Amino acid sequence: MNVLVFADSDNGKVAKAAYEAASYGANIATKSGGKATLVTYGQVDNLNELAQYGISDILHAESVDHVDPMQLAALVDAAAQSTGADLLIFSHDYTGKTIAPVVSARMKAGMVTGAIDYPALDGDFVVKTNVFSGKAFAHVKINTDKKVITLLPNSVSKSKSEANANVTAFAPDLGNASVSIKETKIKGGDGINLTEAELVVSAGRGLKAPENWGMIEDLAHELGAATACSRPVADVGWRPHHEHVGQTGIAIRPDLYIAVGISGAIQHLAGVNGSKVIVVINTDPEAPFFKAADYGIVGDAFDVVPKLVAAVKELKASQS
Amino acid sequence: MNILVCISKAPDTTSKITFKESNTSFNEDGVQFIVNPYDEWYALVRALELKETQGGKVTIISVGGADYEPIMRKALAIGADEAVRVDAQPLDAFQVASEIAAYAADKGFDLVMAGKETIDYNGAQVGGMVAALMHLPYVSNATKMDVAGSEATVERDKQGGTEVLSVSLPAVISAAKGMAEQRIPNMRGIMAARSKPLQVIPSSAPAQLTETVRYELPPEKGSVKLIDPENVNELVNLLHNEAKVI
Ligand SMILES: Cc1cc2nc3c(=O)[nH]c(=O)nc-3n(C[C@H](O)[C@H](O)[C@H](O)COP(=O)(O)OP(=O)(O)OC[C@H]3O[C@@H](n4cnc5c(N)ncnc54)[C@H](O)[C@@H]3O)c2cc1C
Ligand SMILES: Nc1ncnc2c1ncn2[C@@H]1O[C@H](COP(=O)(O)O)[C@@H](O)[C@H]1O
């Protein structure tokens, strides 16, 4: 089947999730004897790198610089028509989640959101996805000829190919914008994007006060990890809301999730139980989080975390 | 302001999730159902605030069987004026969105609001599909929203920050945390809800594009490996050599 992958661009770059979506789309196209094309827009400084992930053609709509989901959906529509795509792949990130259902309804293409694996291709087209906030999986069958999938970040590995994609300029008519931008507020600094992070260090009420987060940031820094938090600490303003993970925050699936001073309430676990390895540091041996953990230390964060920072430093020093 | 709020039902966040009939359907035994938090705390309450300051009417709509009525009464108790139930089992996002779009098509709503996602199937699909089917502008994941005349100013989350957008009405907006504060229905609201209109309308029998063939629970975690707090190096060693994640 012919596959079209949409890659969001932001601040002159496509995100890491786009490499995964490209690899995923290219893999399906190869297995089913079709071609994979990718469509992206705006200024993209890492287009040459993106071209190395198995895609045959990249349609680049450089002059599109907008925020209207309907216009982005029109862009994908036009690309799907010009490439005869049967399957459309989006990353399950803010932009992908927004425009994929619009495209799906316009094309009457059955859609699965939050896929975590490759579809079965022999016989029925069935995709495995996360449901009940990560407490279960569903296998969903798409009954239409045209299909849409959004792929959860960190679900499949990205893989490079020999050949490079051809990049072609693309400038379809997208109609008028009904949404316009007034202001953008970028959250400060060099922080690692939480939904895409492979390593995450997270802390909760057990830290007692916002000024105690220094050691959490140190640990994240030594590991090259993103930081996250439980909901109550975001609610009281100790940490910014975009760090709040869980059922009502964001769901993440990093390789490693280190939870410090978090009890492990079911609503918190819902956002992190897709993590490959979970480490829990908590003074209370009965904390429910230990049941979901791979490794645990029953101990005081104020004692354990600084030691952990030192131990990671030592490991990194021995590796370099 | 004439506002339509899409209300779905979801298992309480503490529910234990199990399946029956060889893992082909969700086991509702003992599960407490609530109004999907994004629909109730954010979309509905913000719609009520707009009505209170600007006048108008708030209608809620659910696509579901009679089992939806308790949560619809709750939304009425919080303050919605009237309710519409499309009598159909919700099986697929496109089917649900088509029912909502078919109902709303000729009603002249200024705003159609949904939650950013349901906490059971986590589809995040219905809002965008309703917008596409009704040919209306769409803004998702809105954390703030104000309306002046025929224009809404909406703040939404995006990768690594937020954006303030301006959108012309009528439009479809999906609500995320931050848009409003939860309201607990009071006795008067609960009494009033009993006599508010809850209209049941027949399905427009739209297509269903997907079906869930089977559910699966994640594998049980083996028991946790505990490490002595005096021996933190051992943890780093295990993460490096055994788990191979650092
Ligand atoms: C509808 C709903 C949705 C929710 N959504 C979310 C969500 O998305 N995300 C979320 O996180 N929560 C959510 N919650 C809240 C959730 O139920 C818990 O209340 C919350 O996760 C608890 O946060 P916490 O673990 O930081 O705090 P606590 O439960 O207070 O736990 C603090 C932990 O720190 C430990 N501790 C104390 N001192 C130390 C020390 N010195 N060293 C080490 N450990 C220490 C304690 O033993 C305890 O286990 C939701 C709740 C509801 C009702
Ligand atoms: N059966 C339903 N009836 C009415 N509205 C619904 C229904 N299902 C979903 N919605 C709305 O669509 C939003 C997104 O749902 P979903 O796409 O299923 O994640 C929800 O937050 C509701 O506002």
For residue B10, which ligand has an atom nearest its CA? 2
For the residues A74-90, what does the mean pLDDT come to?
A: 97
Which pLDDT band holds residue B84 (cuts at 50, 70, 90)?
very high
pLDDT score for A136: 92
Interface contact A109, partner B, CB < 8 A: yes
A33 vs A241, higher pLDDT: A33
CB-closest option in A102, A290, A312 to B138: A102
| Chain segment B180-205, per-residue pLDDT in tens | 999 999 999 999 999 999 999 999 99
Interval A227-237 mean pLDDT: 96
Q: Smallest Cα–Cα separation from B188: which of B63, B29, B79, B83?
A: B79
Is B190's C-beta closer than 6 angstroms to any atom of ligand 2?
no
Nearest CA, atom 51, ligand 1 = A267
Prediction ipTM score: 0.93
Ranges assigned E (strand) in chain A: 3-6, 9-10, 13-14, 36-41, 57-61, 87-91, 110-115, 126-131, 136-142, 147-151, 166-169, 179-186, 199-203, 226-229, 256-260, 277-282, 295-298
Judging contacts by C-beta atoms under 8 Å, the chain A residues touching residue B165 are: 67, 179-182
Higher pLDDT pick, B102 / A10: B102
Chosen from B24, B151, B224, B240 to mutate, greatest number of chain A CBs within 10 A: B224
A76 touches chain B (CB under 8 A): no
> What is the spatial distance between Cα B112 and Cα B99, in angstroms, rounded to a whole number?
14
Please name the residues in contact with A186: beta carbons below 8 A apart, sequence gap of 6 or more: A11, B160, B161
User: pTM higher than 0.90 for the full model?
Assistant: yes
- % of chain A beyond a pLDDT of 90: 81
Domains of chain A by range and CATH?
Answer: 3-169 (3.40.50.620), 199-319 (3.40.50.1220)
CA–CA dist A104, A96 (Å, integer): 12
The pLDDT score that the predictor gives to residue B234 is: 96
- Ligand 1, CB cutoff 6 Å, lining residues: A 204-206, 230-233, 246-249, 261-263, 265, 267-268, 271, 281-284, 287, 300-302; B 13, 37
Alpha-carbon gap, residue B223 to A293, rounded angstroms: 8
CATH number for region B2-218:
3.40.50.620
Whether residues B229 and A248 touch (CB distance < 8 A) is answered with no
pLDDT of A16 reads 84
Residues of B in contact with A191 (CB under 8 A): 160
Instruction: Tell how far the Cα of B84 is from the centroid of ligand 2, in angstroms.
Output: 14
The pLDDT of residue A200: 97
**B119 pLDDT above the threshold of 60:** yes
Cβ of B140 closer than 6 Å to ligand 2, yes or no, is no
Q: What is the pLDDT of residue A187?
A: 67
Cβ atoms of B27 and B19 closer than 8 Å: yes
User: Domain residue spans in chain B?
Assistant: 2-218
B147 close to B169: Cβ distance less than 8 angstroms:
yes
> Mean pLDDT over all residues of chain A?
94
| % pLDDT > 70, chain B | 100
Structure confidence by residue, pLDDT tens digits, A26-69: 999 999 999 999 999 999 999 999 999 999 999 999 999 878 99
DSSP state letter for A54? S
pLDDT digits (tens, 9 = 90+) for A159-184: 898 889 999 999 999 999 999 999 98
Specify the pLDDT at position A191.
Answer: 66
Residue pair B73/B49 in contact by the 8 Å Cβ criterion? no
Please give the average per-residue pLDDT across B97-119, as a whole number. 97
Q: What is residue A190's predicted lDDT score, i.e. its pLDDT?
A: 52
The two three-digit tokens of residue B16, written as one number: 């234990």
Q: Residue A213 and residue A217: Cα distance in Å, rounded?
A: 6
Over residues A256-270, mean pLDDT: 96
Count of other CB atoms within 10 angstroms of residue A25: 30
For ligand 2, atom 14, which residue shows the shortest CA distance?
Answer: B117
- Report the distance separating Cα A296 and Cα A304, nearest Å: 11
B232 lies within 8 A of chain A by CB: yes
CA of B6 relative to ligand 2 center, distance in Å: 6
- Which of A143, A248, A299 minimises the CB distance to B37? A248
pLDDT greater than 80 at residue B160: no
SS3 A218: helix
Q: What is d(CA B7, CA A187) in angstroms, rounded to the nearest whole number?
A: 32
Binned at pLDDT 50, 70 and 90, residue B96 comes out as: very high
Stretch 169-188 of chain A: residues touching chain B, C-beta under 8 Å: 178-187
Number of alpha helices (DSSP H) and beta strands (DSSP E) in chain B: 7, 15
Q: What percentage of residues in chain A have a pLDDT greater than 70?
A: 98
- pLDDT per position as a tens digit, A3-16: 999 999 888 889 88
Band (B179; pLDDT cuts 50, 70, 90)? very high
Specify the higher pLDDT residue, A133 or A9. Answer: A9
How far away, in angstroms, is A205 Cα from ligand 1 center? 6
Higher pLDDT residue, B132 or A134?
A: B132
Please, are residues A199 and B245 in contact by the beta-carbon 8 Å criterion? yes
User: CA of A22, closest CA in chain B: separation in Å?
Assistant: 19
- Ligand 2 contacts CB of residue B130 (under 6 A): no
The answer to whether residue A299 scores a pLDDT higher than 60 is: yes
Cβ distance of B163 and A93 shorter than 8 Å: no
The answer to whether residue A97 neighbours chain B at the CB level (below 8 Å) is yes
Least Cα separation, residue A168 to chain B (angstroms)? 26
pLDDT, residue B185, reads 94
A212 contact partners, CB below 8 Å, separation of at least 6 = A302
